[in-house]
Amino acid sequence: MSFRPRAGLALVFLSALALAGCSMAPYKVEGSDAATNTAQAEGRDLLPRLQPYAIGICYSPAFNDLAAVEAEAVYRCDGGRLERLDEDFFWNGCSLSQPNRINYVCFPPDKAKRLN
């Protein structure tokens, strides 16, 4: 019996087991400085509930398509209007398995109750 094939098989099994709990769905992080500055500039004259804010969505091109990233951004914006600003890679608050980040400015919807 050889030790090498068993060790290789065990290593593959343990790696698969460790990665099984990792989710590869896009997720929200803080937006870039450029997105934050744009949101602040565009929200100067708006009511506090209508002020835009920056969000970033982390993803991996190997695991996620852009439709899934856009869907996560729409969900995180709660039905408001989105503007895609830029995209960055690494050193952006994302994990190493999903290093890409698309930055958006979200303009919340006006959900004020109106009297008829």
Query: If phi over 0 gives left and psi between -120 and 50 gives alpha, with beta otherwise, what is residue 40?
Result: alpha
The rounded distance, in Å, linking the Cα atoms of 53 and 75 is 14
Question: For residues 38 and 56, is the Cβ–Cβ distance under 8 A?
Answer: no
pLDDT at position 92: 93
Q: What is the CA radius of gyration of the chain?
A: 20
| In the block, residue with structure tokens 């190493």 | 96
Q: What was the pLDDT predicted at 6?
A: 73
Structure tokens at 14: 């343990």
Give residue 37's pLDDT: 96
Which parts of the chain have pLDDT scores under 50?
Answer: 17, 20-21
31 C-beta neighbours (distance < 10 Å), count: 26
The confidence score (pLDDT) of residue 114 equals 66
Query: What local confidence, expressed as pLDDT, does residue 7 receive?
Result: 66
Q: Give the pTM.
A: 0.76
pLDDT of residue 111: 76
